[in-house]
């Protein structure tokens, strides 16, 4: 079993999208010949903060400016568009399993769910920390049970 995860969004959309599509197709074809199962995990929503910035400090400042209310953070629209493009591409392959993290990390009002009531879930703008990774467990557990026959 091979699980592929990446920051798919920004670099795949635009004039070079055909390069990504071709490379991804070639990768999937090669993997199908060498492994029993291919799983692709879609990109988690990005937070609108500097990539290497300290997320907790950013949120803490916004929290205090908002009168003690956690800020609602929305992903930049071009990133959402790019993520959805790659997810739709992945879903055209009937021979791979696609895990979409959106239901876990996107609120119904389309803001990013970066806090679970106890912990911040991101380490920076596009990487989950250990708490965020645990939030994906319910999405991954059925897959692992199926693959292990348990």
The CA-CA-CA angle for residues 149, 131, 145, to 5°, reads 5
What pLDDT does residue 12 have? 57
Q: pLDDT tens digits, residue range 127-138?
A: 899 999 999 999
Tell which wins on pLDDT, 133 or 150.
Answer: 133
Work out the average pLDDT over 13-23: 77
pTM for the whole structure: 0.84
Work out the average pLDDT over 5-26: 78
Alpha helices in the chain (DSSP H): 9-12, 17-34, 55-65, 77-90, 102-105, 130-135, 137-148
Q: pLDDT tens digits, residue range 49-104?
A: 875 567 888 888 888 998 989 999 999 998 898 899 899 999 999 889 999 999 99
Could you tell me whether strands 2-5 and 38-41 are parallel, antiparallel, or unpaired per DSSP bridges?
parallel
What pLDDT does residue 15 have? 60
* Confidence check: pLDDT of 32 > 60: yes
């Amino acid at each position: 079993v091979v699980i592929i995860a990446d920051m798919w969004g920004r670099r795949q959309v635009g004039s070079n999208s055909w390069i990504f599509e071709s490379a991804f197709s070639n990768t999937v074809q090669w993997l199908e010949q060498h492994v029993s199962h291919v799983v692709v995990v879609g990109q988690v929503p990005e937070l609108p903060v500097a990539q290497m910035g300290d997320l907790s400090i950013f949120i803490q400042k916004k929290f205090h400016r908002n009168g003690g209310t956690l800020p609602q953070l929305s992903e930049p629209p071009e990133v959402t568009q790019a993520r959805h493009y790659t997810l739709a591409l992945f879903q055209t392959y009937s021979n791979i399993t696609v895990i979409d993290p959106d239901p876990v990390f996107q609120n119904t009002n389309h803001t990013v769910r970066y806090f679970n009531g106890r912990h911040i879930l991101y380490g920076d703008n596009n990487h989950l920390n250990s708490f965020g990774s645990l939030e994906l467990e319910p999405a991954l557990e059925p897959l692992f049970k199926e693959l292990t026959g348990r």
